[in-house]
């Protein structure tokens, strides 16, 4: 489900771009969903592998490190959420958000 949602978000952003329409928010959403899906799946795999999931001899450890980079590289998850909120007309105000004036 996670990967399918990420793929659909990516395809939507790509179609917008190909059509010459604004696609920055859709691309940001696709990056956010893909990064979260990768991290959630890697975390689940590490949990299944137990202690072996952290050993470099197993590919799970590499997948976990690679997924973590997706959360950090090209903007943190918080930055991605901020960009999406701004595109929706929301501003960050402490723990809540309200429409921009």
pTM: 0.72
Q: What is the pLDDT of residues 44-96, one digit of tens each?
A: 998 888 877 777 778 888 888 888 887 776 667 778 888 888 888 887 555 55
pLDDT tens per residue, range 2-48: 889 999 999 999 999 999 999 999 998 998 898 889 899 999 998 88
Answer whether residue 58 is part of any domain.
yes
Catalytic residue of the set 36, 57, 71, 74: 74
Domain assignment of residue 100, yes or no: no
Residue 41 lies in a domain: yes
Q: Are 60 and 18 in contact (CB under 8 A)?
A: no
The domain of 75 spans 2-90
The answer to whether residue 74 is catalytic is yes
CATH code: domain of residue 85: 1.20.140.10
As beta bridge partners, residue 97 has 92
Q: How far is CA 98 from CA 13, 78, 79, 80, 88, in A?
A: 26, 17, 17, 17, 10
């Amino acid at each position: 489900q996670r990967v399918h949602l990420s793929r659909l978000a990516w395809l939507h952003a790509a179609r917008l771009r190909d059509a010459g329409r604004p696609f920055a928010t859709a691309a940001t959403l696709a990056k956010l969903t893909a990064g979260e899906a990768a991290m959630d799946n890697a975390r689940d795999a590490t949990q299944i592998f137990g202690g072996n999931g952290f050993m470099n001899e197993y590919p799970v450890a590499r997948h976990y490190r690679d997924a973590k980079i997706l959360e950090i590289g090209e903007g943190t998850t918080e930055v991605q959420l901020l960009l999406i909120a701004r595109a929706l007309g929301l501003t960050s105000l402490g723990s809540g958000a309200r429409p921009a004036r």
